[in-house]
Chain A
Amino acid sequence: MNTRIDKLITAGLILYVVAVFIFVFAPIITSMIFSFNSDRFASIPLGSFTLHWYETVYNDPDVWDAVQTSIIVAVSVGILSTFIGFCTAYTDYRYSFRFKNGYLVLALLPPTIPLIIIALAMLAWFARIGASGQIWSVVIAHTVLCSPFAMAVIRLRLQQIDLDLEPAAWNLGASEWVAMRYVIVPFCKPAIVAAMCLTMAVSFDEFVVAWFVSGLNKTVPVIILEILQGNVDPQINAIGTFVFVTSMTLVVIAQLLVTLRSPKRSST
């Protein structure tokens, strides 16, 4: 056929993909560059190289408080939402019952609702039940948002389990609890760790709901939002780079755990 035209189309498509990637990464790279730029107001051409903004961030006690809050929140959310996600994934894997569709909708619905709506609803509800402005308010809200992700990751792992593995454990004298302890949990372990990393990363980055319910216990993204609302300066880029590195570390760990395990499985 028309190989020359085909080649032209392919070349065009490759350029197009590159352009899309440039669009996606332009803001990330820009923010990293400006985090080392001396000018107070970002503009082209660039000023000189500086670590001033990192120093400012480093010396800001508010930022340190926020980092501490974020870590407490992220770790708690990671544990809680992974536990709920695991229970839900196992229920979906093991049981069928009436209203199961409703159960699954309840499990997977939260990410489909705009965060701003959830934020307002939680703000009002927490005020009502006397749980507003606490660090735990953010933990509770983020657990609602994150447990669907944990459920999805663990459910995918359970998809790979040999359906006879659990019955085989019962058959060898294990009660359901013992089979859970010695068969299901070890089998799901990489997915459980991956789910924790993923949910921690999501929590570490979420700002809409956190902004509404955190009160004085601000998390890092809420600090970013407040800087954005007030006197914007390149500090924001320094914090952003820090958040990026933290989240990426968690994601890479999660990714490695998932991919390092899979070649073993495929050889069986």
Chain B
Amino acid sequence: MSLFKVDGYALTWRLPLLVWQSIFFIGPLVFMVAITFFLVKNYRMREAFEMINWIKMLSRGYFWDSYFLTLWLATLSTLTATIVAFPASYALAFKASATVRRWAVFFLIIPFFTSYLVRTFSWYVILAEHGAINAVLSWFGLGPFTMLNTPFATIIGYMTLCLPLVVVLQTLSLANVDKNLIEAAWNLGAGWMRTVFGVIVPLAKTGLIIGAVICFILSYGDFVAPYYLGGSKPPTLSILIIDTTKSGQQWPRAAVVAVMMMATLISVAFTAVYLAYRRK
């Protein structure tokens, strides 16, 4: 009914999004799926319907190396961010006043407006052989340690990207937990651990999971940390897309990687949502 009974006024507000996102968002994504079946001849893409790109990419060992590495790094990043952020979020939600909390959230948003590239480069300087950390450690006669080009450095980079956001999301959801329920738990003689993991975490579950999912998405797609800090050996899927696109003009094969990434991401997101709401 409503689709046909729309007046000009209503359409004016409804159409911009529909038109813009169809042409410039859905269009590109659908086209990207289409080009996975295209062929490249003489550095030019030709329309076709061949499975060759899928076969070529999925039969290579290095693709699967990258695939599982990316999945593993993103998972590790998600776990690290969730666990590292939680005590800080807990403190900001329950120990800090509303004013302190608001300022803390404001300061945690600031990093999003600094260049992530520049922050990554700073970590490069800090973690380097002659960098700040090794300089401090040498005063105690320790090191130097090799930190760059290790998964550790990659995770540091991911944390630069995700940690502030995860803390903000966790803090906001924890601050919304009904304080009476926590006091009731104390009252009933629940210990510290029981209160946190039996009462607070389940109540703030949605926010915690949203934080984790966003962290996963950001780490999964990022190429800066694994490339400049992690050394890219082997490359992650995002680096694989860049290399395949930029050097060989092999857009169809890069698109195969991208489609695989999307499929994986959708499965992970749905699993997370399913886990979050299973008991409701």
Contact = CB atoms under 8 A, between A and B. Distances in A.
Contact of A91 (B14, B106, B121, B262): B14
A128 B31 contact: yes
B120 interface: yes
A56 to B, nearest CB: 16
Contacts of B116: 205, 207
Contact of A224 (B104, B111, B118): B118
Given A121-B258, A123-B245, A27 B24 contact: no
Contact of B135 (A45, A122, A143, A251): A45
B91 interface: yes
A23 B159 contact: yes
B221 A117 contact: yes
Contacts of B10: 91, 94-95
Contacts of A96: 2
Contacts of A187: none
Contacts of B158: none
Contact of A20 (B132, B163, B265): B163
B75 to A, nearest CB: 15
Nearest to A10: B95
Size class of the B contact interface (CB-based, 8 Å): 35 or more
Interface in A17-47: 17, 20-21, 23-28, 30-31, 34, 42-45
Chain A interface: which size bin?
35 or more
B49 interface: no
Nearest to B35: A124
Contact of A84 (B12, B16, B112, B261): B16
A114 B217 contact: yes
Interface centre among B6, B85, B112 (most CB of A within 10 A): B112
B92 A147 contact: no
Interface in A111-141: 112-118, 120-128, 140-141
B193 to A, nearest CB: 12
Contact of B91 (A16, A176, A177, A208): A16
Contacts, number: 240
A117 B262 contact: yes
Interface in B78-109: 84-85, 87-88, 90-92, 95, 104, 106-109
A68 to B, nearest CB: 18
A205 B87 CA distance: 30
A27 B9 contact: no
User: At the interface, is chain B mostly helix, strand, loop or mixed?
Assistant: helix
B28 to A, nearest CB: 4
A205 B113 contact: yes
B228 A124 contact: no
Q: Which of A120, A205, A232 has the most CB of B within 10 A?
A: A120
B115 A23 contact: no
A255 to B, nearest CB: 7
A43 B84 CA distance: 29
Interface string B261-279: 1100100010000000000
Contacts of B88: 13, 16-17, 20
B21 interface: yes
Nearest to B221: A114
Contacts of A20: 84-85, 88, 163, 167
16 contacts: A9-B192, A16-B87, A26-B122, A31-B118, A31-B119, A43-B125, A110-B25, A115-B221, A116-B238, A118-B29, A121-B32, A123-B251, A125-B27, A205-B116, A240-B118, A251-B109
Interface of A: 9-10, 13-14, 16-17, 20-21, 23-28, 30-31, 34, 42-45, 83-84, 87-88, 90-91, 94-99, 103, 106-107, 109-110, 112-118, 120-128, 140-141, 143-144, 147, 176-177, 201, 205, 207-208, 212, 221, 224-225, 228, 232, 236-237, 239-240, 243-244, 247-248, 250-251, 255
Interface of B: 1-3, 6, 9-10, 12-18, 20-21, 24-29, 31-32, 35, 45, 84-85, 87-88, 90-92, 95, 104, 106-123, 125-126, 128, 130-132, 135, 159-160, 163-164, 167, 192, 217-218, 220-223, 228, 238, 241-242, 245, 251, 254-255, 258, 261-262, 265, 269
